[in-house]
Amino acid sequence: MDDRLRDLERRWRTTNDEQDAAALLREGVRAGVLSHVIADNRGLIEFTLAFPDIRAEYLKNQLQTQFQDFLNDPRKFISYDEVFRKFGTNPDFLLLLEQEEKFIQFDLIEEMQELPQANKKVIKSVRIRMIRDQQLPDLSQFPSLSRMDLTDTGLTDDGIKNLPAQLKVLNVGFRITNAGLADFPKAIEQLRLGNNQRITDEGLEFFKMYKSLKFLDLQLTDVSREGVLRLRRELPGVKIVSSF
């Protein structure tokens, strides 16, 4: 324990004035030196939480510290269970998570539907698994949602029509056909369609509709080499990845 923390703790424990104690807590939390004392002292936690501004500073400090585990984790997908068991439904943590462009993975659609509204408003990146078109949740409740990974779903052309208009990054599974290529959100910038073997050269014209498109993955589709080369000429600003 360094001298500054020792002095702050001594002054906090010896004062009889509540406002003075609160001022000391603010000083310590903002200096980042009281986190472990607060974490180890239940009474101190309860006292701290009675002061909203101290609570905000404390949570921010704690989240930044704990978030290092995720910063050092190479995974792009962090499960709902892992996130919310550890951090609860704190919107501040979700904002930190978004800064690292990690997806929150929902294995049960009920988990996503039951989120508090405060969380629904800030979530930007979501991975959903094992659902079909009719199970897609009401995504209008997620106004900040801009990145979705639906690779491990049974989403078809019909489901594409229900994706949010503001979506910019999208990975889909293997049930998309030429018929669905006109229904992606018009704001889309990155689109991964790998393994959709019912996408052929006939569907390539649809990609000209997406004026914001910057990246397109057509690996393991049924498009031809000639079709890909032609599309690259017609869309020089788009990076097109294919099997050729």
Return the DSSP state at 112: H
3-state SS string for 115-179: CCHHHHHHCCEEEECCCCHHHCCCHHHCCCCCEEEECCCCCCHHHHCCCCCCCCEEEECCCCEHH
Q: Which fold has domain 71-241?
A: 3.80.10
* Secondary structure element (H or E) that encloses residue 79, with its range: strand 77-79
pLDDT, position 3:
73
- Structure tokens, 102: 């990690």
Contact criterion met (CB below 8 Å) for 199 and 193: yes
The residue among 102, 149, 148, 94 whose CA lies nearest residue 123 is 94
pLDDT, position 229:
97
pLDDT, position 72:
66
- Domain map of the chain by residue range? 3-66, 71-241
The list of the chain residues with pLDDT below 50 reads 1, 35-43, 45-46
pLDDT, position 1:
47
pLDDT, position 42:
43
Contact criterion met (CB below 8 Å) for 97 and 86: no
pLDDT, position 40:
46
pLDDT, position 66:
61
Q: What are 152-202's pLDDT values in tens digits? A: 999 999 999 999 999 999 999 999 999 999 999 999 999 999 999 999 999
pTM of this prediction exceeds 0.85: no
